[in-house]
Amino acid sequence: MDRSKSLGVALVSVLLGGGALALGGFVLASNTPHQKALQCIESSTHSHTCSVTLSTFPDSLEGVHGANGGPHPDWVTYSNDNVVVPANTTVNMTIDQYDTGGNVNNPFFDSVVGTNGGTAAVNGKVVTHVALGDTGHTFTLRGIPGNGKTLFVSVPLPYNFGTKFPVRLGTGTYPKPVVVKFSFTTGGPAVYEFNCEFPCGGSREGNGFGEAMQAFGYMSGTITVK
């Protein structure tokens, strides 16, 4: 089976088999985001184009969750759980990846899916996938059951192997980030969920999808198209 067909089959299995996760997204999106909305900045030179930047951290010490990381300073987190973008617009997204990583549970999430052109740029290099074991987090955007929207974007965020140039943010110190850039195009008004599909949280079962992974404001959030 060729790569495109393999990805297609995997996408169907992910979407059909992810009912529990999608339902969880609906519950998350039904709550009011507790973080200030991050607005996509509209381009002054290209119509119907905007840009937004997020980050992924190995803990919550960079300031988003309050002094000293809030109630769970050791939980991994995105930098914001509440992103707002315009309708019918190309969104140029940058994600600064500060965390380590390993193997995803489903290798489907090592591949770039749903972006404009089917690619992402990692520190300036155009890629379609990340090597096995080299994914740190993912940015996985999906529709919420019942809203009739089918936008699906998933981008692996590579393992950060560290650097000699540490970055101080909030009360945390991190390696220089791996910079991942990609774009996707929105349709009409809707609310979508984004989350991470790398098992980076704790759980009683040991599958890595508890705690931060299930907590709105850490590794889950929404993108609202207006």
The domain spanning residue 110 has which CATH number?
A: 2.60.40.420
Cα first-last separation, the chain: 40
Look over the chain and give the mean of its residue pLDDT values, rounded to a whole number. 83
Q: Report how many domains make up the chain.
A: 1
Least confident of 46-55, 64-73, 179-188: 64-73
CA angle (33, 37, 38) in 5-degree steps: 130
Q: Domain containing 183: what range?
A: 3-225
Confidence at 202, pLDDT banded by 50, 70, 90: confident
Identify the pLDDT of residue 205. 53
Q: In DSSP terms, which residues pair with 50 in a beta bridge?
A: 42, 91
Tell me the average pLDDT across 119-142.
96
CB 218 within 8 A of CB 60: yes
State yes or no: pLDDT of 6 exceeds 80.
Answer: no
